[in-house]
Amino acid sequence: MKSDSSIFKSLFFLCLFLCCFSLLSQSVHASEKVRIGYYEDGDYMSRNDEGNYVGFNFEYLQQIAKYTGWDYEIVDANSFTSAYDMLISGEIDMLPALYYTKDRAEDLLFPDSAMCNIYSTLNLRCDDTRYDYEDFSSFNGMKVGVIRDSVDAANFKAYCKSNNIKVDTIPYDETQALLKALDDRTLDAIAITHLGKSSTYRSIAQFSPEPIYMAVSKNRPDLLGELNSTLNRIKLRDPYYDIKLYQKYFSVSTTQEPVFTPSEKEFIQDTAPINVVYSSNQSPLSYLDTAAGKFSGVVADLFTMISNTTGLRFTYIPEENYKDALDAVKDGSAEIIASVANDYLWAAQNQLSTTSYFLRAPVAMISANRKTSSPVLALSDGFFLSESISADNQDKEILYYDSAEECFQALARGDADITYSNTYIAEHLLSDPRYEPFSIVTMTNYSDEISLGISSSSDPRLFSILDKVLQYTSNDMINELVLKNSLNSHSVNWRDLLYQYPVQTMSIIFLVFILVISVFSYILITKSRNHRQIEKIMYLDDLTNIWNLNKFRLEAEKILSIPGNRTYAFIYADINQFKTINDTFGFAEGDQLLRNFANILRENIREGECCARVSADQFVLMLRYENWTQMTERTKSIDHQMNDLLIAENKTYRLIIIFGVYLLQDTDPLDVSLMLDLANYARRSAKITHKSLTIKYDENMRQEELQERKLANVMHAALENNEFIPYFQPKYNMADHSIIGSEALVRWIDTQKEIQYPGSFIPFFEKNGFIVEIDLCIYTNVCRIIRSWIDQGLEVKPVSCNFSRLHFRNEDFPQTLCRIADQFQVPHEYLELEITESVVMENKERVLDYLGRLKKLNFLISIDDFGSGYSSLGMLQYLTVDVIKLDRSFLQEGIAKKRMRTIIQGIINVIHGLNISIICEGVENEEQAEMLMEMGCHRAQGFYYARPMPLEEFEHLVKENH
């Protein structure tokens, strides 16, 4: 017994000793000193006014210390270079926020997990407006400061090389000296790791995102294992810790604004208001404020902010059903859907590209608190969240509704037991007294990441602009919008009052009813008196006194709703040169022209038909349809009546009217707007014409639209892959058959090595603006080729390049051409800039100003397709050009005819008299060539001499001709 007691005591003291040893060990461990290198580095690490160390690095270090018990000794190294050297020599144990490289890994220890990913930036002073975002050509010659021997400096050097940028790089030893040099204008810019939320500079480039690490001295391998273990524990316990810390220190500041590329600025300036479809019943996020009749909520305020920041304009379209909103983007009625889930597969299925999410909302389960073994779910139709929940609850009955509010109503009626919604919408609805009995539970396995959805067929610049704005929209700003709309979103209505105060509410309603009865008679009298005046304001066009589009839709729907009454055609009419007439003869003349046209339309309308003015020079009609011949006779009659009236009034101009026609099908839905859209599509499909046309919407037009979408999907990749190349068509002196120059014409050699000719893609690129990129691509290639000819010692003749009308919207167009030519050191007199006569006539003053500036830069100017429009000879007095290219239509209409020869001879004489060279296009046979020479035109271009050919063939031809 005594022996057992002795053993027990021995065991007790042994355990006590081990516990004390363990505690002592922990105490020693807890007090272990770790030396941390410090230098002033903005939001990464700095000292506040009280002398405390603050910033991303120190907050991360304190989180690590919670698990390790380390006691930090801060060692001030003054600069990054000094801190880095001290880490290698072992004077400090750890240095936070260090990039990994193979060379550094030989001298230092790096943990398995990074602190976060960070990128490098090229920063300017905010008042420096010389440079646009990633406008690489303007970066050349900049004085850029970097931290000596840093990864930032190496990344910037690689960035410059990949983008063909040549700058003067100046190294500095410490960050503060670098920033001071930028502030005092010693430097134009600095290339440095993203400076964080407190940055007061403007970023014009972002590049090389890489992880940063808590680097450890090789003298302290004992720290690395514990650091790895601790970083793993932090990420396991809070997977979003580094993201939240990143947002706190490195999200954009409210003082910073996004910077746009020149191409994005052009898009913002030129684009019309963009249609945005939104869910009208998702308060407080997005809803239709019925009292104000406008788009409201968090997302509405976000779009207001986007519009103020960018200058983009938006038109908002409400939809009660979310599927209808998605369909509006698919069918082209809208380009943006105001809030979508940030899921790439779901977005792809709905033909959307989604921006970075701007709001991450928790998801809540709302229950009616009814005990049931098989609860029925109520879900909002069309939403990604609903699809996710449905996939996880395939064994349950699910009912779908248009909105979260309808789901709540289903729970209140007893039709369903559970619904799901993001917490912002749920909390708004639960403020309604009817839903007080419901319970709410936040779900950890779902979240609602809300983004903007942009149609996949939209101009990519729209996505880039919106995504960039959201990148520069801080969490603080979004939180302010959420708070503002959450406080204001629920207004007390009569149902709430009736629910809470039934007796008092009914008494007030009764008194109001008596008051309404008392004034009802007076209202009826006033209403009947003003009815006609209101109807005129609502339904008549105030300029032409015919119906407006609202009245047209109502009457057309009324006519078509009669059973069997479907033999109709919808017509969209447009006066082609109306803007020119307005500019030339004044607005009074234009207004009278529209009134006359409206009167003629009204006189041609029969019983059961209608017409209206849409806007400007566009009108719509709904006419009975018998056959196509009868339809075209009616449109020709309208055209003839209008032009006969102009002749009778001694007007000097004639009208070209385009009629787009859609023939109503028996299977078509009763949707007048859709029919007009299809008729308008037919109208817009008309090519440039010199006579009135009537065009029917058909299957070919639908196929054209599909082809355009296909082109839009591949055009940017094709440009990057250098698939657009110049073919050269020589120009000849017909007298001696010598080559006097050439024209560069674009060809698209696709990935299958098949040649796509301009007619298959140029019209679409003109329409969507991509032609600007193509023109500059061909021009750049031509400059490169001419440089090659000069270097080879070949005789160089001028090469003409074609330029779209869209270039004349860009104030920097002449300087852009000059920069490209000078980049290749090509004398400007070797470059002939070719524009069509119609471009000049569209905006004469602006184009003539540009041509004058280009002439001062010594470029040759050529007017193409001369004679294809009207007022050409009168235009010659204003033009300071080098070459006039006679339009091929003169030859096609018969040069052998005496009358035509007289016209051509006169044009040639006038042009020669102005000391302008003339060249005839489209020469296809010897007879045409001889006749042209007889009339004094000795220069030609056409298939008779040579077709457009690849560079190698052209160079061989030139050498033979020399």
Does residue 380 contact residue 388 with C-beta atoms inside 8 Å?
Answer: no
| 3-class secondary-structure state, position 248 | helix
**Measured between alpha carbons, how far is 381 from 389 in angstroms, rounded to an integer?**
12
Q: pLDDT per residue over 676-712, tens digit each?
A: 988 998 898 876 677 899 999 887 887 777 787 788 8
Q: Two tokens at 901? A: 């020869």
Does residue 747 contact residue 802 with C-beta atoms inside 8 Å?
Answer: no
Q: Could you tell me the pLDDT band of residue 891, with boundaries at 50, 70 and 90?
A: confident
Q: Average of pLDDT values for 809-831?
A: 95
Domain boundaries of the chain, sorted by first residue: 1-27, 272-495, 501-533, 549-697, 707-961
Q: Could you tell me the pLDDT band of residue 176, with boundaries at 50, 70 and 90?
A: confident
Q: Is the pLDDT of residue 480 over 90?
A: no
Q: pLDDT per residue over 916-940, tens digit each?
A: 999 999 899 998 899 899 899 999 9
Q: Which fold has domain 707-961?
A: TIM Barrel (3.20.20)
Q: Average of pLDDT values for 810-821?
A: 94
* pTM to 2 decimal places: 0.44
**Measured between alpha carbons, how far is 553 from 342 in angstroms, rounded to an integer?**
38
Terminal alpha carbon distance of the chain: 126
Residues contacting residue 642 through CB under 8 Å, at least 6 positions apart: 596, 597, 600, 655, 657
CATH of domain 272-495: 3.40.190.170
Q: Average of pLDDT values for 656-667?
A: 92
Weakest-pLDDT range from 135-139, 209-213, 935-939: 135-139
Q: Which of the two residues, 147 and 535, has the higher pLDDT score?
A: 147
Please list the residues that pair with 147 across neighbouring strands: 172
Does residue 389 contact residue 375 with C-beta atoms inside 8 Å?
Answer: no
Q: pLDDT per residue over 233-269, tens digit each?
A: 988 888 778 888 887 887 765 556 777 888 889 999 9
Give residue 68's pLDDT. 92
Weakest-pLDDT range from 30-44, 746-760, 932-946: 30-44
Pairing of strands 738-749, 724-733: antiparallel
HSE, side-chain direction, 13 A CA sphere, residue 507: 4
Residue 164 identity (one-letter amino acid): N
Query: Is the four-CA dihedral 320, 325, 328, 330 of positive or negative sign?
Result: negative
Does residue 646 contact residue 585 with C-beta atoms inside 8 Å?
Answer: no
**Measured between alpha carbons, how far is 535 from 1 in angstroms, rounded to an integer?**
114
**Measured between alpha carbons, how far is 669 from 664 in angstroms, rounded to an integer?**
10
From the list 160, 190, 185, 162, the residue with the least C-alpha distance to 174 is 190
Q: Is the pLDDT of residue 321 over 50?
A: yes
Q: Two tokens at 47? A: 């000292």
Q: Two tokens at 757? A: 């000719």
Q: Is the pLDDT of residue 475 over 80?
A: no
Q: pLDDT per residue over 267-314, tens digit each?
A: 999 999 999 999 999 989 999 988 888 999 999 999 999 999 899 999
Pairing of strands 693-696, 439-455: unpaired
**Measured between alpha carbons, how far is 92 from 84 in angstroms, rounded to an integer?**
9
Percent of the chain residues past pLDDT 70, beyond the cut:
90
Give residue 344's pLDDT. 80
Q: Could you tell me the pLDDT band of residue 130, with boundaries at 50, 70 and 90?
A: confident
Weakest-pLDDT range from 473-487, 574-588, 625-639: 473-487
Q: Two tokens at 516? A: 């309404």
Q: Which of the two residues, 719 and 903, has the higher pLDDT score?
A: 719
Please list the residues that pair with 98 across neighbouring strands: 213
Give residue 252's pLDDT. 64
Q: Could you tell me the pLDDT band of residue 733, with boundaries at 50, 70 and 90?
A: very high
What architecture is domain 549-697? 2-Layer Sandwich (3.30)
What is the pLDDT of the chain when averaged over all its residues? 87
SS (H, E, C) 323-340: HHHHHHHHCCCCCEEEEE
Does residue 547 contact residue 610 with C-beta atoms inside 8 Å?
Answer: yes
Does residue 231 contact residue 67 with C-beta atoms inside 8 Å?
Answer: no
Give residue 23's pLDDT. 42
Compute CA distances 159 → 68, 489, 720, whole Å: 40, 48, 17
> Buried (b) or exposed (e) across 316-325, using 16+ Cβ within 10 A?
bbbbebbebb
Q: Could you tell me the pLDDT band of residue 74, with boundaries at 50, 70 and 90?
A: very high
Percent of the chain residues past pLDDT 90, beyond the cut:
54
Give residue 493's pLDDT. 56
Q: Two tokens at 356? A: 């970075």
**Measured between alpha carbons, how far is 357 from 284 in angstroms, rounded to an integer?**
17
Dump the DSSP string for 745-799: EEEEE-TTSPEEPGGGTHHHHHHHSTHHHHHHHHHHHHHHHHHHHHHHT-----E
- Give the length of the chain: 962
